[in-house]
Structure 1
Amino acid sequence: MSFADKTLTCRDCGMDFVFTSGEQEFYAQKGFANEPTRCPSCRQQRKASNGGRSYSERNGYGRNDGYAGGRGSYGGERQMYTTTCAACGREAQVPFMPRGDKPVYCSDCFQDQRRSSGRNRW
């Protein structure tokens, strides 16, 4: 397949930029179906304003830290809430704010509940 330089207009700044034949070949090799809509400087500026993170990273998708709400690419600690276990009465730390309409269990009692209800899929 033969590629030729194309002049495109940036959707952010309105300036024309060249989508080179080499860039087109790269896009084709990667399977990208769409041409770029931003000039290189606007792309760079957009990356910088997002901290260099992609859409999926900014929105919690594709994280590989074991579970969605844990410590990951955002670097912060998960907020934990202190409550009383509904089964044994001990103090428990949970990763959500208890609402009071459902029982909340400590880790040990939660595992016991899962085992007794047959929901031990892990």
Structure 2
Amino acid sequence: MLTEQNFQEIYLHCNDCNQEFAFTAEEQEFYQQKGYTQPKRCASCRAQNRQSKNGGGGYSNAPKPRFDAVCDNCGVNTTVPFQPAQGKPVYCSDCYRSMK
């Protein structure tokens, strides 16, 4: 059974910049629904923190390393996005697609 809670705007201090920021009733309700704890950073510090982590998803826009290899099927020189292991076959993209 859901109970209705009356949230009121509260003011918190940011752990990064120590500025006071509002934690609105709407934000509190959203955080509660998602099971989140109170924010520890203001909106601008949260955004800056996400940006420093490349968007927060753990993915970077930096190019991924490629490794030289020779296709075990057709013998063409190719590159792959992983370090080839000895004794494991490596295929060029054309041969790999044809095997699927």
Same fold by TM-score, threshold 0.5 exceeded? Answer: yes
Cα distance between partner residues in 1 of 2:53 and 2:65: 22
Cα distance between partner residues in 2 of 1:94 and 1:50: 28
Q: Residue 39 of structure 1 aligns with which residue?
A: 42
Number of aligned residue pairs = 92
Cα distance between partner residues in 2 of 1:77 and 1:41: 30
Q: TM-score, normalised by structure 2?
A: 0.61
Query: Is 1:24 aligned to residue 28 of structure 2?
Result: yes
Cα distance between partner residues in 2 of 1:104 and 1:92: 14
CA gap 1:102/1:6 in 2 versus in 1, 3 angstroms: same
Which stretches of structure 1, 4 residues or more, deviate above 6 A after TM superposition? Answer: none
Higher relative contact order (CA 8 A, sep 6+): 2
- Alpha-carbon shift at residue 80 of structure 1 (Å): 4.4
Cα distance between partner residues in 1 of 2:24 and 2:12: 10
Gaps of 5+ in 1: 60-72, 113-121
- Alpha-carbon shift at residue 78 of structure 1 (Å): 6.3
Gaps of 5+ in 2: none
User: Taking every aligned residue pair, what percent have the same amino acid on both sides?
Assistant: 27
Cα distance between partner residues in 1 of 2:53 and 2:90: 38
Task: Tell me how large the CA RMSD over aligned residues is.
Answer: 3.3
